[in-house]
Amino acid sequence: MNLSQRLMIGKVIVSIVWLLIVASVIESSQVPFPYVFQGIGVFLVGSHIIEIIVFKKRMRGPRDYLLTILFGALQLRTIRATASNSAD
C-alpha cells in the first residue's frame, strides 16, 4: 500500500471521528459517550491550530489551512508528498 492510499484511509477515519464529534455536539443523546467525543474535538482543534502555527510556511493557501484544521498531520504529509512529487 503506497503513501497516498494510507493517507486517504487515515483521512476517512478522521472524517468519521469528526462526524461523531459534530453529532455529539448537536444531538448528544444519539452518540455513545458524547463528552469523550467533545473532548476529542477540543483536543483536535487545539492541536491542529498548533500545527498550523508551527508549519505555516508549508501552507499554500486557504484550502491547506482548512484541511489542516480537519486532518492535521495527515494533510501536512499530503502537502509534503505533493511538493516532493512536483520537485521531481
Confidence tier at 80 by pLDDT (50, 70, 90): confident
**Residue 70 predicted with pLDDT over 90:** yes
Contacts of 71 by beta carbon, 8 Å cutoff, 6+ apart: 10, 11, 14, 78
Domain count within the chain: 1
**Domain extent for 52:** 3-87
25-60 tens-digit pLDDT: 999 898 899 999 999 999 999 999 999 999 999 898
- Percentage of the chain exceeding pLDDT 90: 70
What pLDDT does residue 47 have?
Answer: 95
Dist. CA 70–CA 43, nearest whole Å: 12
